[in-house]
Chain A
Amino acid sequence: MNLEILASVQDIHLAIEKVNDPEYPGISIVDLGLLENIKLNEIGEVVIQLIPTFSGCPALQMIAQDVREIIEKLPGVKKVDVVWLNSPVWSVNRVTAKAEKDLAEKFTVAVQIQGRKVKCPRCQSETTIKSHFGPSRCRSIHVCSGCNEVIETLRD
């Protein structure tokens, strides 16, 4: 009988929640919708399936490394594989309400949820799109009609 304690899928999930997006310290990759699946077998081999926001995202290696390091420390874990999936395709609809709130409050970044107008994180006024391409691949640029601020917006 194997009496060694082994972390559960739930333990692994909780640990991954502590991994932040390198661009948004304090915002979990789980809340941004990057975690797709966790596989764990009885001998402590873990496969974590993540989906990238964009195929050319330069942070993929860094995120995979952060996940590996945190999971390797869990009890009974012998091996960790982090796999980037090509499907499903990430969309902003995977972003949780908590991450949306944190992005607005901590980074004044809006989220372009499909079927909803982008509101200014500062004053809640409506915004108009200025450019689909912003300071990083997953952000567009909006301008607020109320306070005239330029608003970075997380988008598909």
Chain B
Amino acid sequence: MVKSVLSSAIKEYLLAFADDEHLMGQQHTEWIGIAPFLEEDMAFASIGQDELGHASMLYALILEGSSEVDAFIFNRKPEEWRSCQLVESNHQNWEEALMRHWCYDMAEDLRWELFRESSLPELVLISERALKEEKYHRQHADALVENLLKVSTSKSRLMKALEGIVPEVLELFSSIPGETEAISSGLVSGKYCDKLPTWRSRVENRFGVLDQKLFATSDHQARTKRHLDFAPLYGRIREVFLLDPKAVW
């Protein structure tokens, strides 16, 4: 691995993606054993595992070959995380978890696409691998949602969940620290928020035209403020690590 090529701004930029992937993976895996049916139980386990894998590749890149990856991830204070509200919030109802999966994965490939011609060769390789895995995530989410939308009671529950999640997705796209330098250095090919119209058209192709008010931009913090649900989540993800911080997994 190339040593110290990444500026602190670029590391912040990559950290935002890594933390999103990490917490999204964690949230998915929490459905193991309690998803409404077996196929979803297994799908959420596998999809969550992929997101955790993507996170670990990004963390490894940020830490430039250091072996202290776990210590770096789990010893950070809440204010040092750069995750977005969408992955921190606690969506306890199944329809909300499914809609978050759909919304997040319909946004994730658009984010990896920005790295396809990255000035950092390792990032090009990571994005190729991730994009291959993400194709299955979108297929899975969309096939299930398509079927559920045919049932009126399911449809109304999904639409209600979607309306709650869209504002969180806007924040996912809008506020990435270090983005200006990531673009000027050629790390990424453009601003993530420029992909928002693509995401919105995917949403409206599947769910129909949504109320314009849902897409009104609000004032977003640059991922420095944690969601109210972060604290208990932070406790759960550190629980096992703190039992034996030196353990190799």
Contacts and interface: CB of A to CB of B under 8 A. Distances in A.
A103 to B, nearest CB: 19
B42 A56 contact: no
B43 interface: yes
Contact of A87 (B42, B54, B125, B249): B125
Interface of B is mostly: helix
B219 interface: no
Contact of A55 (B46, B47, B130): B130
Nearest to B124: A87
Contact of B248 (A55, A61, A130): A61
Given A55-B56, A55-B57, A61-B249, A131 B49 contact: no
B133 A54 contact: yes
Chain B CB within 10 Å — which of A131, A132, A134, A156 has the most?
Answer: A132
Given A55-B54, A55-B56, A55-B57, A133 B126 contact: no
Nearest to B54: A55
A25 interface: no
A133 B28 CA distance: 14
Interface of B: 25, 39, 42-43, 45-47, 49-54, 56-57, 122, 125-126, 128-130, 132-133, 136, 139-140, 248-249
Contacts, number: 61
Contact of A56 (B52, B122, B140): B52
A137 interface: yes
A61 to B, nearest CB: 7
A138 B45 CA distance: 12
Given A61-B249, A87-B128, A132-B139, A54 B42 contact: no
A134 B39 CA distance: 8
Contacts of A86: 57, 122, 125-126, 129
Contacts of A58: 49
Given A61-B248, A132-B140, A133-B47, A55 B129 contact: yes
Chain A CB within 10 Å — which of B52, B122, B129, B130 has the most?
Answer: B129
Contacts of B133: 54-55
Tier of interface size on chain A: 10 to 19
Contacts of A115: none
Contacts of A55: 50, 53-54, 56-57, 129-130, 133
A89 B49 contact: no
B235 to A, nearest CB: 23
Nearest to B48: A56
Contacts of B139: 132
Nearest to A131: B39
A133 B132 contact: no
Contacts of A57: 49, 53
Given A86-B125, A89-B128, A133 B42 contact: yes
